[in-house]
């Protein structure tokens, strides 16, 4: 188990780490997610022992690691651009850590083959590392850092320099490699999808602090601050007033989300209107008058339309409109009363009303 206690570090006047507390349980991979410059890579270097903190302690199974140099920590580290040794073959790269541990020559040979097989590079043992593809290099780097069986593995933006398609595939692959056998590790990235794919738990970092930590679903459903919500890509943040089972907004009203039923009337709350909670509504939705706005943009992606509805004074909501084969445009007499026939989406400039499914709305919980 890795514990960080009150880690602080400043470069000159710049405070890079401002009191970091963090625990990583055995067998757990924690992703450190944050924008560039948030201090996540520096924190990783502190854990590795490559950077000494100004204050605070790094504990491994309760033992203080301060003063233990990197080469005695038995931690593995995989760099962003892999830092493979260019003058050594694939096999020699993987064997490096084993040689440093004065392992028996035959034992090294066996282990190298075992690890290369595990990452699917058995054929590559004697090749130079200089002309491998990005994905192959990544797997060699992973094999190299895991061959000596480090007690803890760190990965610094391991997919950062690859293109998007490859990144998605390799993130899934990494997830598989890291969970069997279960590896304790720290994964640094600025990419939310990558963090959510690879890690069991995610800690979000900003300006040298950890602003929130939790499981991916936790973070998505219950962001604790506006900054986290926006960093995770949520745009529909709405100020609302609680009033007898309703949420009142300047643009209209909708049923109060179930979790907020016990809020006193008149209290204010920030609600997150995610696309999945929104639909295009008719002129009235039962006793509620839906949010009114105008269509500002319309795109088609992944099998549905994304209608951007601009409410008055700025706020824009993204509303998904599913394709429904067999139903035609608004003139179609078969179309249901009051509902938009969704195979033909509204046009830019149309006035529309946005309905809200309260059970999918959560509040920012500070």
Partner 1 sequence: MPETGGRGRFLRPLLGPLLRPLLFLIPAGFLGLLFLYPLGSILAVSLFPGGDFDYAAFADILQRPALRGAAWFTLWQAVLSTLLTLAAAMPAAYVFARYDFPGKSLARAAITVPFVLPTVVVGSAFLALLGPSGALPVDLSRSIWAILAAHVFYNYAVVVRTVGGLWAHLDPRVEEAARVLGAGRLRTFWEVTLPRLRPAIAAAGAIVFLFTFTSFGVIIILGGLRYATIEVEIYRQTVSYLNLSVAAALAVLQLAAVSLILLLYARYQERGIRQQQLRPAEENSRRPRGPLEWGFLAANLGFAAVFLGGPLLILIERSVNTAEGYALTYYRSLGETGGTTLFAPPGEALRNSLLFGVTAMLIAVVIGVMAAVVVSYGRGPMARGFDMLLMLPLGTSAVTIGFGFLVAFDYPVDLRTSPVLIPLAHSLVAVPFVVRITAPVMRSIRAPLRESAAMLGAPPARVWREIDLPLITRSALVGAAFALAISLGEFGATAFIVRPDTPTLPIAIFRLLGQPGSLNFGRAMAMSTVLMVVTAGAILLVERLRVGNTGEF
Q: How far apart are CA 74 and CA 48, in angstroms?
A: 9
Please name the residues in contact with 333: beta carbons below 8 A apart, sequence gap of 6 or more: none
* Residue 283 Cβ vs partner 1, minimum distance, rounded to whole Å: 55
* Contact positions vs partner 1 (CB under 8 A): 11, 16, 41-42, 45, 48, 50-51, 69-77, 79-81, 83, 85-87, 96-97, 100-101, 130, 144-145, 148
Quote the Cα angle for 336-337-341, to 5°: 45
Q: How far apart are CA 256 and CA 288, in angstroms?
A: 11
Q: Is 71 or 268 the residue whose CB approaches partner 1 more closely?
A: 71
* Residue 11 Cβ vs partner 1, minimum distance, rounded to whole Å: 5
* Residue 41 Cβ vs partner 1, minimum distance, rounded to whole Å: 5
- The dihedrals phi and psi of 98, each to the nearest 5 degrees, come to -70, -40
- Asked, as a colleague might, if the bond just before 271 is cis with ω within 30 of 0, I would say no
Please name the residues in contact with 87: beta carbons below 8 A apart, sequence gap of 6 or more: none
The token pair at 94 is 């993987």
Q: Is 99 or 268 the residue whose CB approaches partner 1 more closely?
A: 99
Q: Is 81 or 241 the residue whose CB approaches partner 1 more closely?
A: 81
Q: Is 74 or 289 the residue whose CB approaches partner 1 more closely?
A: 74
Q: Strand (E) positions, the chain?
A: 2-11, 14-24, 29-33, 55-60, 63-64, 75-78, 152-156, 185-189, 201-206, 209-214, 237-243, 246-249, 252-255, 268-272, 278-281, 291-301, 304-311, 316-322, 351-356, 362-363
Coil/strand/helix, residue 25: coil
Q: Is 10 or 237 the residue whose CB approaches partner 1 more closely?
A: 10
Sign of the dihedral through C-alpha 13, 14, 18, 24? negative
* Residue 294 Cβ vs partner 1, minimum distance, rounded to whole Å: 42
* Residue 81 Cβ vs partner 1, minimum distance, rounded to whole Å: 7
* Residue 155 Cβ vs partner 1, minimum distance, rounded to whole Å: 12
Q: Is 52 or 169 the residue whose CB approaches partner 1 more closely?
A: 52
Q: Is 23 or 80 the residue whose CB approaches partner 1 more closely?
A: 80
* Residue 91 Cβ vs partner 1, minimum distance, rounded to whole Å: 14
């Amino acid at each position: 188990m890795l514990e960080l206690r009150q880690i602080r570090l400043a470069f000159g006047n710049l405070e890079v780490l401002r009191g970091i507390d963090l625990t990583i349980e055995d067998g757990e991979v924690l992703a450190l997610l944050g924008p560039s410059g948030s201090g996540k890579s520096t924190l990783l270097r502190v854990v590795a022992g490559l950077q000494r903190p100004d204050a605070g302690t790094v504990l491994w199974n309760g033992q203080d690691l301060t003063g233990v140099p990197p080469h005695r920590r038995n931690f593995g580290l995989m760099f962003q651009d892999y830092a493979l040794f260019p003058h050594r073959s694939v096999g020699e790269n993987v064997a490096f850590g084993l040689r440093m541990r004065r392992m028996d020559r035959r034992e090294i040979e066996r282990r190298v083959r075992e690890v290369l097989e595990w990452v699917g590079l058995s054929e590559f043992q004697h090749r130079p590392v200089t002309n491998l593809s990005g994905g192959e290099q990544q797997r060699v780097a992973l094999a190299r850092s895991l061959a000596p069986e480090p007690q803890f593995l760190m990965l610094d933006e391991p997919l950062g320099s690859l293109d998007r398609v490859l990144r998605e595939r390799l993130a899934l692959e990494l997830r598989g490699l890291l969970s069997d056998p279960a590896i304790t590790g720290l994964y640094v990235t600025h990419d939310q999808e990558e963090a959510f794919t690879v890690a069991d738990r995610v800690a979000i970092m900003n300006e040298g602090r950890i602003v929130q930590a939790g499981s991916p679903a936790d973070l998505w459903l219950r962001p604790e601050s506006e900054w986290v919500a926006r960093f995770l890509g949520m745009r529909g943040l709405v100020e609302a007033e609680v009033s007898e089972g309703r949420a009142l907004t300047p643009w209209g009203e909708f049923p109060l989300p179930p979790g907020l039923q016990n809020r006193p009337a008149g209290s204010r709350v920030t609600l997150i209107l995610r696309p999945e909670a929104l639909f295009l509504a008719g002129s009235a939705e039962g006793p509620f008058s839906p949010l009114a706005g105008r269509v500002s943009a319309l795109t088609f992606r992944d099998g549905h339309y994304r209608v951007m509805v601009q409410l008055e004074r700025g706020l824009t909501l993204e509303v998904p409109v599913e394709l429904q084969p067999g139903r035609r445009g608004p003139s179609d007499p078969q179309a249901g009363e009051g509902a938009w026939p969704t195979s033909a989406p509204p046009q830019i400039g149309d006035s529309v009303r946005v309905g809200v499914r309260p059970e999918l709305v959560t509040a920012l919980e500070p």
